[in-house]
Structure 1
Amino acid sequence: MKKNYKMKKTISMKMFINEFGENFSEHMKSRLLELEVRSVLTRKEDEYRLDIKHVEHTQHDFDNLQKEYVYGEFLVIDDSLYFSDKCIENNYVIQAPIVDTIYNNLSSDGIILDGDNKAKKIDDNNIDYIVDTLLTVFPDVTQSYLNIISEMISHERN
């Protein structure tokens, strides 16, 4: 695992794979990269625990509060990738209903982490289900976002 001097709190899927994916299969890396355009990963104090969010941080109304959905949580432990049964929830973010669906449909062995928090291993047998399911619930990105990305890419090439 590569160490950053100062841990980045928000990273792209490419950065995630670069940081943690040394032992991921090529198939897993390829499928995870399909989430690149519409997702971003955020983390707090634990560098190995990353929440999956929409890249535009779309807000939804919950009990008169604007909150962002968290579509899952990846954990990387001993060079293996896991999907957690719970995500961070607070005044700003709320766990999307799809998290329970994905977690409950994974047949891989569960592990216990941090008390009540459980996670199941992600591998070549279930990565397709996870990515395909996430892609069904992620909102499309807006045209203005695509324009910004297109502009950034054109400047990188020059």
Structure 2
Amino acid sequence: MNAEADDLDAVDRNLLRLLQEDGRRTTLDLAARVGLSPTGTSLRVKRLFREGYITAVRAVLNPAKIGRGTLVFIEVRLDHTAPHIFERFAEAVTKAPEVLECHMVVGGFDYLVKARISEMAAYQDFLTRVILALPGVKETHTYASIGDVKPDALLPV
């Protein structure tokens, strides 16, 4: 573990686990589960936010219900690597609403893009309009997910 993780005590870790499971838990519920007063619990949760251990609380949506039922992973290889190309690529990919995540990676390609689209029939349009239009894209390889084995896993704390 790193030094910041070492600063967390058992109560902090328990609060992080509980809030990852359900971010809508009330302070009263959290207090009862960790054995602190509601005030003490509230102060700890506020500190975990302030210190950056918790960065957001949001609802997890059902992708199929909102027309984004197909998950694809796209390996992207750039035609050349230079700081300005990386900057332009990152700026462009952050503007694409279909893109859920984009990671710069080390290996046989430069980026791994995770995107949600309505269905495979719409994939060609997405690939042409969004991915191939990104700055410096030379080559792509796409993998469509046919099942979620461990989606949205909780971080071990």
TM-score by length of 1: 0.22
Higher relative contact order (CA 8 A, sep 6+): 2
TM-score by length of 2: 0.22
Q: Which has the higher strand share?
A: 1
Q: Which has the higher helix share?
A: 2
